[in-house]
Amino acid sequence: MKKIVLIACGIGFTLSLQAQELPLKNIKTNAVTSVKNQGKSGTCWDYSTTSLLEAEGLRKGLGEFNLSEMFTARNTYIEKAKNYILRQGKAQFSEGGLGHDLIRAISIYGAMPQEAFQGVTGEIPDHSGLDETLKTYLDEVLKKRPLASDWLKGYEAILDQKIGVPPATFDFKGKNYTPQTFAKEVLKFNAADYVNITSFTHHPYYSPFILEAPDNFSNGSFYNLPLNEMVSLTKDALKGGYTIMWDADVSNRNFQQAKGYAMLFANTEDGKQAPLNPEAKETAYSAELRQQLYENLTTQDDHLMHLTGLDQSADGKLFFKVKNSWGAVGPFQGYIEVSEPYFAINTVSLVVPKAALSKELRKKLAL
């Protein structure tokens, strides 16, 4: 993860309303919950995928949920610690993660509403220095062999202090739940309902592979699609009423949250960037260009957000409507309009409800 994006993914910005709101025609708007602010925490993976699960609750008619991101963040830190210890410190340890980490955490630990646990710093988290403190503790543990049998207790004590102590049980709408029973009975959660998708040419298509990204600490597998099929799947899913978790590179000048747009701008003859305009000329995208930028480390998994709908410019260009987790900032109050070329080149991975996949695609993936 690039240093600039430790700021982008790690801190909920306060951005000024700098751009004139440019009109787009709405094609599809899917029901989602309100924009949140991840504050000073590198938990975009958590907020974006939690937003996906909340949207699935609305789509399925289960009701509107405000789920606790900090409960999942705390549990994922425990999984990161176990991985780091077993790999004897030779593993990624940071605030970052990918969408499948939330899916896995809920399958193991369950979930709970925000009202049951929001963390010690309140509605907007502040995890300044947390990952450094935790890693320092783990590195000290690794200095003594065999390891102390109770090393995890000391680690959890830090989490208790910095994130908080979640309740073992809680009440929700007049009934008492554990996190596991809440996930199963209220959210109707099933990890198998979600599929990880990506598109790269250095692995066979229609087969899963472990994505080579620093924040994939848990070695999650992703189904590999040709680029045109990944783009088509995303459009069709959104049109069909589904939403998608989006992992992308945003540390480039083409991602302009303050102005409300992310576009793959072409440069003008004098080398300057084209003016902000939904109808501005963009660079043509291809699988070859996408692969080149990934392999030369230009494209990285900087930030995770939530694809919620489709809009269209006057000349017919499609834009993905994206919910961010930096608070209600920018001209679109926390949303950003992402052009198809930007999406095609800068997407690293997706988490998609399995039900959104066509029968033909499920057959190709043996799902």
Closest CA to 194 of 334, 68, 49: 49
Span 142-183, pLDDT tens digits: 999 999 999 999 999 999 999 999 999 999 999 999 999 999
Q: For residue 245, how far is the Cα from the chain centroid?
A: 6
Cα–Cα distances in Å, from 242 out to 30, 234, 318? 7, 9, 17
- What residues form DSSP beta bridges with 323? 306, 335
Span 75-108, pLDDT tens digits: 999 999 999 999 999 999 999 999 999 999 999 9
According to CATH, the topology of domain 10-365 is Cathepsin B; Chain A (3.90.70)
Show me where the domains of the chain are located: 10-365
Type and span of the H or E element at 44: helix 44-59
* Structural contact between residues 109 and 75, judged by C-beta atoms closer than 8 angstroms: yes
* pLDDT grade for 5, boundaries at 50, 70 and 90: very low
pLDDT of residue 253: 85
* pLDDT grade for 23, boundaries at 50, 70 and 90: confident
Span 65-76, pLDDT tens digits: 999 999 999 999
pTM, entire model:
0.93
pLDDT of residue 234: 98
pLDDT of residue 59: 98
Alpha-carbon distance of 334 to 322, in angstroms, equals: 9
Give the SS3 label for residue 130.
Answer: helix
Span 245-291, pLDDT tens digits: 999 999 988 999 999 999 998 655 555 666 678 988 899 999 999 99
